[in-house]
Structure formats: structure tokens, C-alpha cells
């Protein structure tokens, strides 16, 4: 059983991670700056920063989603996307359309015809942020939450995403 398959059995689990590391940022002018990045405050009073802290050759600077397109810290890549949320009774609908909602950073786990995003949100009383998985078809504005429902997976909601192959267990999630 693959690590991803095991991980999907325990949705919403937070995974400890470093609060800073070597990486890069891509500015709005498409310049790449290399240095040390910090995107959260360390536990026990941990919190996800809305503006990352960057330390490079030219000193320290803070970058928010309005200032940069993307950044990488260690082996994790974060992109800026427009995100609007609509909530109805017990459901939340997310859309990413240019100019709608607000710009925010979201972690990109996999990219191709299907994009796998991981939103890191703070939960009161927890040291580490909770990770919520979303899938998005390339070209579609809808983000579909994938880790909720029976056994943590909303199969009926994921059927429109033919890139996912559930039939071959040996290939894992993205087979």
C-alpha cells in the first residue's frame, strides 16, 4: 500500500514540519530570489504567517500574496491563487477565478491535468496547522475537497476527475 493511500485513510491529520528552510521566491516581476524562508511561527504558539519572512543576500523582507507569485521552502512549493469561498449549510464551495475573492498562498502537492492543493489552516488549540486536500481540473475554477466523507474520501464528488484511477491499487492514487 502506498504512503499516499495510507495517508488518505487519516484525513485532516496535521504533519509536523519545519517552520523555516532554504528556498526561493518568484516576484511579480518574475525574478527568482534565493534565501531562507519562514512561513509560520514555531510551536507551541505556532501560526501560519499571511506574509512569509525572507532572508537573502540583500537583507530581510516580508512577502505577501500580492507581492510574489510562488515560493518554495525545503521541498514544499506554494503558489498564489485567487480563492473565493461560498458556504451553505454544512458545505463549502471554493473557486479560483482571477479577481474574485482574495489572493492567498496554497501548497501544491502535484500538478498536471489535475492539480492537488493542500490548504494549511490553523486550528485553535493545535500546535500544527490542519491540512485539507483539494483537487482542481486544469482550466476549471472549482476546487473539490477530497478528504471528507466516508473513509475520508468523497468518491462521488471525485468521479468527474478521470485522471484519478481507483481500479489499480498498485499504482497508488494518481495511477
Give the Cα separation of 153 and 134 in Å (integer).
11
Q: What is the mean pLDDT of residues 79-84?
A: 94
Domain ranges (residues) in the chain: 3-163
Residue 88, pLDDT score: 78
Q: What is the pLDDT of residue 17?
A: 53
Q: Which residue has the cell 494549511?
A: 120
pLDDT, tens digit, for every residue of 6-62?
A: 334 334 444 445 567 899 999 999 999 999 999 887 666 667 788 999 999 989 999
Burial of 37 (0-12, 13-18, 19+ CB in 10 A): buried
pLDDT digits (tens, 9 = 90+) for 102-152: 999 999 999 999 999 998 887 777 777 888 899 999 999 999 887 765 555
Residues 119-151: b if buried by 16+ CB within 10 A, e if exposed: bbeeeeeeebbebbbbbbbeeeeebbbbbeeee
Amino acid at each position: 500500500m502506498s504512503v499516499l493511500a495510507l495517508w488518505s485513510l487519516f484525513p485532516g491529520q496535521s504533519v509536523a514540519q519545519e517552520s523555516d528552510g532554504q528556498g526561493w521566491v518568484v516576484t511579480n516581476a518574475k525574478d527568482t530570489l534565493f534565501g531562507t524562508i519562514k512561513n509560520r511561527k514555531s510551536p507551541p504558539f505556532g501560526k501560519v504567517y499571511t506574509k512569509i519572512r525572507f532572508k537573502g543576500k540583500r537583507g530581510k523582507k516580508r512577502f505577501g500574496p500580492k507581492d510574489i507569485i510562488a515560493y518554495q521552502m525545503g521541498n514544499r512549493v506554494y503558489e498564489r491563487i485567487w480563492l473565493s469561498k461560498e458556504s451553505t449549510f454544512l458545505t463549502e464551495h471554493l473557486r479560483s477565478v482571477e479577481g474574485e475573492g482574495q489572493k492567498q498562498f496554497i501548497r501544491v502537492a502535484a500538478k498536471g491535468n489535475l492539480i492537488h492543493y493542500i490548504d494549511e489552516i490553523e486550528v485553535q488549540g493545535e500546535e500544527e496547522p490542519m491540512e485539507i486536500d483539494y483537487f482542481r481540473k486544469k482550466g476549471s475554477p472549482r476546487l473539490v475537497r477530497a478528504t471528507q466523507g466516508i473513509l475520508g474520501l468523497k468518491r462521488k464528488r471525485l468521479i468527474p476527475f478521470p485522471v484519478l484511477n481507483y481500479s489499480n491499487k498498485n499504482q497508488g492514487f494518481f495511477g
